Structure 1
Amino acid sequence: MDASKLIDGKAFAQGLRARVAAAAAELQARHGFRPGLAVVLVGDDPASQVYVRSKTKATEEAGFHGVEHKLPASTTQAELMALVARLNADPDVHGILVQLPLPAGLDAAAVVATIDPRKDVDGLHAQNVGALWSGAEGLVPCTPLGCVLLLKDRLGQLAGRNAVVIGRSALVGKPIAALLLAENCTVTVAHSRTKDLPAVCRQADILVAAVGRAEMVKGDWVKPGATVIDVGINRVPTPDGKGRLVGDVAFAEAAAVASAITPVPGGVGPMTIACLMRNTLTAACRIKGVPVPAV
């Protein structure tokens, strides 16, 4: 395929993380504080452990103050809520991330609701969700934010474009729709009950797939010249037993007709942690009452 069609999320994320690190160093020099991020991991879910290691490494590389709390799967709801309350009160912590999913028996919604909205760097608290949809100041979920940053970098002005988002989850689909509306796109949110989904997708100048079904979106679903953002990460079996990662979009088919497309891996994935660092920087500046750097 034409390499110019690839939207290189890995390269963009590296640049964003470098800009965040430079801004953090400037905050330390000018104002005497470092952004602080606390990550809470409950239990021993292997995927969550990998994510937390990556987030911890990114925190160190950004020059942030990092705090990691690893709790056993036997942790009670009350113990977890008490930890969040302590982090809310810690003046050196500006961002709190409780790694999801939580072990069975723990109420994730109640935990998220306990996080100080100013420190909710995942953008999941109801106050931040409301701020996103109403256009008020808040913190935006990292993956959707990363998708929109990639789109603006590739396309420039998004206003007036038809966008179709496949998926309506609170983590990705709904926030991406809100962000695209804020960019003055005309947005359709499609899902499992949508009639003639391929025909709906073919109307999209911007097609975002966030459903968690391997290669569901076929090449003939894509409007010629469209920009495709593939949020899906699915492991499919291979003869050697190791498996391989694919997105929600049949990449080779879609790339043949799209003008630009994110690969999996190396597209949206790296943007999530980069935007977590960006959100933590933003939260720290707002809490401390200093201007948020343009990164």
Structure 2
Amino acid sequence: MLIYGKEVRDAIKAEIKKYAAVNRMHMVILQIGEDPASQMYVNGICKFADETGVDADILKLSAGNSQEQIIHIIEYMNNDPDITGIMLQKPLPPGFSLEVLANVIDPYKDVEGITNYNLGKLISYEQGIRPATPKAILTMLKAHNIPIEGKKVTILGRSTILGQPLAAMMTAENATVTICHSKTVNLVEETKRADILVAAVGKPNFVTPDMINEDVVVIDAGINFDEEGRMLGDVHPEAKEKARIASAVPGGVGLITVAELFRNLVYLKEEQIRRQREKTR
């Protein structure tokens, strides 16, 4: 059975629209260079912003800019009180360091939760911003009443913006978590043990039917494009047919990810209001 994200996304959208009606929020998306998958995600963000009354601007920069120039731009935005949240669109072109640029962003404007400060709060189980895609995965599971506590969760991919944060968040939900990557020995044995399998490797149709059991819940967080421009997930359609439950691509996690990004923006706005009140006391 395929599960989708539209109903969940629409419910969150209504929350954001209600909040934005009385609280002005402004997000700036910093986009360096060109990437088809990246542009599709950015378009989705701008559409969501337009439909909820949130100000969203794209700052498009050439890959010919130096990293030092990008750092100065981010620092300028950090000091602009009109900006609620800053997003650094990925992937970055060659020659740019995500770790360096992400950590220039003020943690209180880090709408994606990717600074070391916010990731540190995540792994120490403190309240704070969480990366949007891991949040979306948990939201999707809970919205479809899929238990997490006590389950064996296997995550394919160990990126600092998806795999590793998701592992920490799943652990906080009392799941038993395994992270698999390119050096994992006997990968199929690991994936077959999973109660919940999350694919986030960025390789189209990577997960095949022989890699899963029939009772597994598969969450496909992959966004890939074939030569004809069609979006493909990391999980082969035949594997999704075999699984008890599987998330759709397109129409699954990606829809909720955009919504969760705006939930993060609301969190940043609330923190901004709280800190301002503390200053005026």
TM-score, structure 1 as length reference: 0.86
Query: Are 1:225 and 2:215 matched, yes or no?
Result: yes
Query: Are 1:129 and 2:119 matched, yes or no?
Result: yes
Report the counterpart of residue 189 of structure 2 in structure 1: 199
Contact 1:128 1:140 in 2 (8 A): yes
Report the counterpart of residue 226 of structure 2 in structure 1: 236
Which of 258, 268, 276 is 1:283 aligned to? 268
> Aligned residues, how many?
275
- 76-85 vs 140-149, which moves further: 76-85
Aligned-residue RMSD, C-alpha: 2.0
Contact 1:146 1:272 in 2 (8 A): yes
C-alpha separation in 1, matches of 2:136 and 2:273: 25
Alignment CA distance shift 1:66-1:212 (3 Å):
closer
Taking only the aligned residue pairs, the percentage that are identical comes to 37
Structure 1 residue runs without a partner (length 5+):
291-295
Report the counterpart of residue 260 of structure 1 in structure 2: 245
For 1:174, give the aligned amino acid.
Q
1:166-185 superposed matches below 5 A? 166-185=156-175
Query: Are 1:16 and 2:2 matched, yes or no?
Result: no
TM-score, structure 2 as length reference: 0.90
For 1:244, give the aligned amino acid.
R
1:101-140 superposed matches below 5 A? 101-140=91-130
Which of 44, 60, 71 is 2:50 aligned to? 60
1:81-120 superposed matches below 5 A? 81-120=71-110
Contact 2:118 2:130 in 1 (8 A): yes
Contact 1:62 1:277 in 2 (8 A): no
Dislocated runs of 4+, deviation >4 Å = none
Which of 199, 205, 217 is 1:215 aligned to? 205
Residues 204-252 of structure 1 deviation map (CA, whole Å, 9 limit, x = unaligned): 1111111122222222322222211011122235xxxx25332221223
Query: Are 1:51 and 2:47 matched, yes or no?
Result: no
Which of 241, 251, 256 is 1:271 aligned to? 256
Aligned to 2:91, what secondary structure does the other structure show? coil
Structure 2 residue runs without a partner (length 5+):
276-281
Report the counterpart of residue 293 of structure 1 in structure 2: none
Aligned to 1:101, what secondary structure does the other structure show? coil
